[in-house]
Amino acid sequence: MNPYIASYYHHKDNSVENADFLIVVSIMDFADCIFSVLAGYLIRIFEPFWVASVGTFLSLIIVFCSSYIGNPILFCWVFGLSIGLLSANIFFPVIWIVWNQIPSNKATSNGLLLAGLNLGPAFFGIIFTMIVNPHNYEAKTIQSNGKEDQKIFDKDVSDRVPMTIRWIVVISFLCSFLGFALIKRKWKSENIEDDATKSTMTFKDMLKNWKAWNLFFILFFGLSSMTYIFNTYKIIGMNNINDDHFVSFIGSLASVLSCFGRIFFGYILNKYLWKRVMAISYILEAAFFITFGLMFDNELFYSLYVIIMFFLSMPCFNGIMIQTDKNFPRDKWILTYVSLSCIPAFALPYIFEKFLTPEIGYGWTLCVLGTFQLIAAFQTIFHDVEAMKVENEKLIEDSEEVLK
């Protein structure tokens, strides 16, 4: 969506660039993290179903209204905050519902839920492209501060952006309505593991716990690279291949295959050691990031690299969720604070696009992000997972005493 929205506002103000709209991702994730913490408290007062459903439909209304905004700065804030609110109200409340209904095989359950998140870009990305640019018009090359070329679509395409956003909201509303109609509303309060009153740590204890901080930074370094390629693969493709429909198709195909990646890695995380799975995936992804710059001009290798990098990034968030749950079995609320690392991770694409990439280019920027993956692998290898066994044994003993 970024190139289309940027083109729309560029025709209103020539100083607007593609990179300016990557701040939407930062705003979106900041709102996602803040509203996720709020959702974590609200589900202690209201049923998770109502937190998710009311928040979702409210968010979609705001997104619809954002399509009428003519100021690019105001649009970035309204659109970013509403998408962040949408994500926060859907993801964690639904996770709690699924964990409550199916407490076993959490990694597989998470994989299925996260696969749904990947279907969004696959489904809506191709629909957005086909509505806004049905005739596959090529974007024109313009100079960006004399340093880096960028692609901007003509008004024949850009003028269709507001209408396309409204159609996407209508489709999202119908899909959400169907999804909530299928969700179980009854909460199994007898599930001892889900009892929020059994918390063993305070907020101050969490701040002093190095395992929580290590998980925080593993997620930051692992997610930073993923968010960057998710937000720039189309810009890179348009700069080097300049076939809008082809690049959009590759992005959608990568998202669809990533759905299988979510499920695949969910199964793998249930079956094999967490350290082994996560470290190998980070190291492999680092290799692809570092060498991607050599493949920009080749359609085949560009396609393969995008698909593989999308696929290899799939265990990142799921793995952190599972390990946080294992490290802190009675303090699931800690996950919402570990997830706050998403704020700097999602801010990184905007910062790099504005200040780093114009100076060193996309190839070297991807090398930097490959280094981030290696740091995440190093942290994963030395993460303390042995302590969780003691906590889990204590949890089992306490549960047995309660059952007696």
Indicate whether 397 pLDDT > 60. no
pLDDT (tens digit, 9 = 90+) per residue, 9-24? 888 887 777 777 778 8
149: helix, strand or coil: strand
pLDDT on residue 388: 44
Rounded-to-integer distance, Cα 105 and Cα 99, Å: 9
User: Under the phi-then-psi rule, with left for phi > 0, alpha for psi from -120 to 50, and beta for the rest, what region is 151?
Assistant: beta
Q: Evaluate whether residue 200 is within a structural domain.
A: no
Number of domains in the chain: 1
pLDDT (tens digit, 9 = 90+) per residue, 188-221? 654 444 444 456 778 788 888 999 999 999 999 9
Task: Indicate the pTM of the whole model.
Answer: 0.68
Rounded-to-integer distance, Cα 363 and Cα 295, Å: 9
Rounded-to-integer distance, Cα 160 and Cα 155, Å: 8
CB 211 within 8 A of CB 335: no
b (16+ CB within 10 A) / e for 372-400:
bbbbbbebbeebeeeebeebeeebeeeee
pLDDT on residue 118: 65
Range of the domain at 220: 2-184+205-403
Between 49 and 386, the higher pLDDT residue: 49
Question: What DSSP designation does 322 have?
Answer: H
109 band by pLDDT with thresholds 50, 70 and 90: confident
Between 112 and 304, the higher pLDDT residue: 304
pLDDT (tens digit, 9 = 90+) per residue, 329-374? 777 778 878 888 888 888 888 889 888 998 999 999 999 999 999 9
The residue-averaged pLDDT of 163-175 equals: 92
CB 229 within 8 A of CB 370: no
Q: Evaluate whether residue 80 is within a structural domain.
A: yes
Indicate whether 404 pLDDT > 50. no
pLDDT (tens digit, 9 = 90+) per residue, 55-71? 899 999 999 999 999 89
Rounded-to-integer distance, Cα 379 and Cα 119, Å: 30
Rounded-to-integer distance, Cα 149 and Cα 143, Å: 5
pLDDT on residue 145: 56
Q: Evaluate whether residue 284 is within a structural domain.
A: yes
**Torsion angles phi and psi, residue 183, rounded to 5:** -80, 140
Q: Evaluate whether residue 135 is within a structural domain.
A: yes
Q: Evaluate whether residue 190 is within a structural domain.
A: no
Q: Evaluate whether residue 192 is within a structural domain.
A: no
pLDDT (tens digit, 9 = 90+) per residue, 209-258? 999 999 999 999 999 988 899 888 888 988 888 787 788 888 888 887 88
User: Under the phi-then-psi rule, with left for phi > 0, alpha for psi from -120 to 50, and beta for the rest, what region is 305?
Assistant: alpha
pLDDT on residue 269: 85
Q: Evaluate whether residue 197 is within a structural domain.
A: no
pLDDT on residue 384: 85
pLDDT on residue 330: 73
Residue 318, domain CATH: 1.20.1250.20
CB 286 within 8 A of CB 167: no
Q: Evaluate whether residue 163 is within a structural domain.
A: yes
303 band by pLDDT with thresholds 50, 70 and 90: very high
